[in-house]
Amino acid sequence: MGAGIAEVCARAHTDVLVCESTRELAAAGRARILRSLDRGVSSGKLTEREREQAASRLRFTSDLGDFADRQFVCEAIVEDEAVKTQIFADLDKVVADPNAVLASNTSSIPIMKLGMSTQHAERVIGMHFFNPVPVLPLVELVTTLMTSPEVSERAETFAHDVLGKQVIRSADRSGFIVNALLVPYLLSAIRMVESGFASEEDVDKGMVLGCAHPMGPLKLADLVGLDTIKAIADSMYEEFKEPLYSPPSLLLRMVEAGRLGKKTGRGFYRYA
C-alpha cells in the first residue's frame, strides 16, 4: 500500500519522501514502484517522460528525522496499533509545521487512538486507500472528535484535487465504511471453505460469475494479505464484539504458518 500511495503521489507531481526501516527495504520499495511505473508505460497509461518525472520525484530514507520539513505525511506501516501509535508519537515530534497533516492509511484502527499518541491530535486524520492504489479510485477520509476542519479540508483537497481520487467520509469507527462491509464477507468465505461447504475455487467463481465481482473473496483476501485481514478483524471484533467479525481458526492457522497470501507466495492459492 505504501508503494502504491507513493507512486500515485509522485505521478500527481508532488515531491515524495518515502521512509522504510532499512536501506534494503527502501531499495525493494523503490524497485516495486519502478516496476509499476514500467507497467504504466507498457499499458500506454504513462509516457516514458512521465515515468522518468515521477521516478525523479521520489526520494527514499530510513531516517524519520528527514520528515521535519514535510507538509503532508501518510503512514502506511503494518496494521498493528502499538507500532502505529509509536510512529505517530515519533512523527509528531519530528514534523515541524504545526499545520502539517499527519494521515494514517490504517484499514481499521480508530484514528483517535493514533491522534491521542501525539501532542497535536487536531492534525491527525484517517486517509484510507484501496489496493491496488494506482487502480482503485477511492479514499475514505476519517476525522476524529479532535481533527480540525482545516486538516480535514486539506486532506480532502489533496485526495480529490491533487491525486484525483473520489472521497467518502466515515465516522471514526473500527473498519470505517468499506472494511466494515468487506471483512465480514471475506471471513464468511473463509468459514465456508473451513467447514467444507465449498472449495476455494467454487466460492471465488460464484462471486465472480454470479455477482460480477472483479475477483472472488479468497483471491481478494490473498491480495490484501491474510495477516492484514486478521488484524482488521481483531480490531473490529474488539470494538463491536460482533461474532461475524471474529477471525475464524483457519485464518489464524494460516497466519501462524506464514501463508499470508500473494506477498509470501502462498495463501488460499499459490503464486509463482
Binding site for ligand CAA (CB under 6 A): 36, 39, 43, 45, 107, 130-132, 134-136, 179, 182, 214-215, 220, 224
Catalytic: which of 105, 117, 179, 235? 179
In the bound state, the residue with its beta carbon closest to ligand CAA is: 107
| Whether 117 is catalytic | no
Q: Which residues of 171-195 are buried (b: 16+ CB within 10 A; e: fewer)?
A: ebebbbbebbebbbebbebbebbee
In angstroms, give the least distance from the CB of 225 to ligand CAA. 8
Catalytic: which of 105, 107, 152, 235? 107
| Whether 179 is catalytic | yes
Instruction: Measure the CA–CA gap between 204 and 178, rounded to whole angstroms.
Output: 19
Instruction: Measure the CA–CA gap between 109 and 112, rounded to whole angstroms.
Output: 9
- Nearest to ligand CAA of 145, 215 (CB atom): 215
In angstroms, give the least distance from the CB of 144 to ligand CAA. 18
Query: Please, is 12 exposed, middle or buried when counting C-beta atoms within 10 Å of its C-beta (0-12, 13-18, 19+)?
Result: middle
Do the Cβ atoms of 228 and 107 come closer than 8 Å?
yes
| Whether 52 is catalytic | no
> What are the grid coordinates assigned to 195, written together?
467447514
Pure H helices in the chain: 2-11, 23-42, 48-56, 81-94, 111-115, 149-157, 178-194, 200-211, 217-224, 226-240, 249-256
> What are the grid coordinates assigned to 236, written together?
473490529
- Nearest to ligand CAA of 31, 215 (CB atom): 215
In angstroms, give the least distance from the CB of 63 to ligand CAA. 28
Instruction: Measure the CA–CA gap between 31 and 53, rounded to whole angstroms.
Output: 16
In angstroms, give the least distance from the CB of 133 to ligand CAA. 7
In angstroms, give the least distance from the CB of 60 to ligand CAA. 19
- Bridge-based pairing of strands 124-128 and 138-142 is antiparallel
- Nearest to ligand CAA of 36, 174 (CB atom): 36
Catalytic: which of 36, 128, 152, 170? 128
- Nearest to ligand CAA of 174, 179 (CB atom): 179
For residue 46, the tally of other CB atoms under 10 A from its CB is 20
- Nearest to ligand CAA of 114, 182 (CB atom): 182
Catalytic: which of 7, 20, 122, 140? 140
- The torsion of the CA quartet 144, 238, 235, 166, rounded to 10 degrees, works out to -40
| Catalytic residue IDs | 107, 128, 140, 179
